[in-house]
Every structure is written in C-alpha cells, then in structure tokens.
Chain A
Amino acid sequence: MKARVHVMLKNGVLDPQGEAVRHALGAMGFDKVNGVRQGKVIDLSLAEGSSEADVTDMCEKLLANTVIESYSIEIL
C-alpha cells in the first residue's frame, strides 16, 4: 500500500516562502498570480494491512504540526 500525505500551512498562517515565490513570479512577468502557498508532499510505502487510520495517526503525531499545518491523505 502506498499513501501520499500533503502538508500545507493553515490558512491565516503567513507563508513567507510562498510570498517570495509569488514575488519572483511577478518579477518574471507572470502578473496573474494572486497568491502562492508552498507545502510538502510525503510519500509513504506501507506494509500490507496498513490503513488510512494508521496514516492519520502518523500525521497527527509527527508528519504535520497541527498548530500551524493542515494535512490531507491520498491512498495511491
């Protein structure tokens, strides 16, 4: 089983890296970019018998810091 976890800063949490990318795109002439948010993608290769609940547990305990980040899980 494979799972993909997307981790993003929550709405309302300033993302200075995303802002820097937005500025760079603007300076390059991509003038239609209203906002950029940068996150992480974590691919997990899991033993048979693993469940989405296991991945949720991993996200809550380590992969995301839920004070500042939200996550979503894709089972591949």
Chain B
Amino acid sequence: MKAAVVVFPGSNCDRDLAVAFEAAGFDVSMVWHKDSELPSGVDIVGVPGGFSYGDYLRCGAIAAQSPICKAVVNHADRGGYAIGICNGFQVLTETGVLPGALLRNSGLKYICRSVDLKVATTDSVFTSEYSVGDVMTVPIAHHDGNYFADAETVAKLQGEDRVAFTYCDNPNGSIGDIAGILSDNRRVLGMMPHPERAVDEAHGGTDGVAVFRALTGIVATA
C-alpha cells in the first residue's frame, strides 16, 4: 500500500502525517508542490497541515492552484482516496474537492489545544473502526478552522451522512459543530483536528490511530 504526502512551502505536519501512514503500514513518498504527477500506484494522498504559501490571500488558496494539486484533484476525481488535515482541509475546499470553506475562528484567536470530537458516521474508510458517538481526544491548531457552508450544503452533508466528526464543545464557531466532512463518494476526508498528532503514546494519546489503521485494511481489499 502506497501513500503520498504533499509538501508545500510552509507545510509543517508533513512528517507527522508520513509517520502516521508508515505506522499503519503504508510505504510513503513525499511529493513536492512543483511536481505535476503523483507517484504511480498511490492508494491515498495526504494533504498535511501547516501554512502553505504563508496563508497569503486565503488559507490554502495558492496551494490549491499548485501543479501537484491538479494531480490530487485528478486522483480524487478518479475515485482515489485522500485525507486533508487542517491546512490540507483548507486546500481541499479551495480546490472544490470538498464543499464549503474555512473562515477565521469566531473568537479570532489561534487555538492550539486538545479537543473532544464525536464520531458522526462510521460509513467511511476513515471512521469504520469507530462507533457512532465515540468520543476521541485530538489536538487542534488553527486560526481559520470555522467551517462554513450555505444552509443547503450543510443540509446535504447531514442528509447524506457525510459529516465525519463534530466538536463536543465547538471551539471555533463551525456551523453545525462540524469538524470533518466526507466527499460525495466518501473517499476524501477533510478535517481541522489532527489525528496524526494522536498516534503515539508520546503524543499524550492514541485516539487518532484508528483513522489510519482502518484505512490500511480497506484500501488493501479495495
């Protein structure tokens, strides 16, 4: 099983994401933003957290136009798996792979702490090892994590069971307490919290492990 992790100037969770993929059993390649193709045979692409292109213009906006992002969009359009975490989630919304956008936190402050998330669906490769209603503790570290979509889009996400995680105690003003969402084919997950920062006892918790472990099994049998 092969994973690719995209690296932009300003990414800072790329190595953490690679380590989480490796711990789950993936061979991981790092791909540079100027590359125009993903390595052949990639099963899943990870778009990591950080501050791609310094968050200039809007978080993720310039990264979304990079050559590698064209390849990521094509991969997703072909039905490939992808996970975008934090800035990676912002990038995936900017590309249009995932609906909605991430606004400035309602309290205006950058927030860096662990929060409790509730698993909202088990109907995805990323959440299949959890149960609906499970509470997991995972770090957040963002200034622009306030998920927004128009009422119609939010109703569609909820109606199609595409909200993956919600915040137990909404830290940033996200509409519907939404912390993570799935694409319409359920193969792309975007989330603001960092499951890759909760995969080792040294992180202070391992509640994020199941996101990656479940992925390995299902990708292998796909």
Contact = CB atoms under 8 A, between A and B. Distances in A.
B58 A65 contact: yes
Contacts of B65: 61-62
B105 interface: yes
B57 A16 contact: no
Interface string A18-40: 00100000000000000000000
Given A14-B103, A14-B106, A16-B104, A68 B148 contact: yes
A67 B100 contact: yes
Interface in B122-166: 146, 148-150
B58 A16 contact: no
B100 A20 contact: no
B93 A67 contact: yes
A61 B201 CA distance: 43
A76 interface: no
A6 to B, nearest CB: 14
Interface residues on A, range: 10 to 19
Given A13-B148, A14-B106, A16-B106, A65 B101 contact: yes
Interface residues of B, number: 21
A20 B109 CA distance: 11
A63 interface: yes
A17 interface: yes
Contacts of A9: 103
Given A62-B65, A65-B61, A17 B108 contact: yes
Contacts of A20: 108
A65 B61 CA distance: 8
B94 interface: yes
A16 B108 CA distance: 7
B101 A16 contact: no
Contacts of A17: 104, 108
B107 interface: yes
A68 B58 CA distance: 11
Interface of B: 57-58, 61-62, 65, 93-94, 99-101, 103-108, 146, 148-150, 173
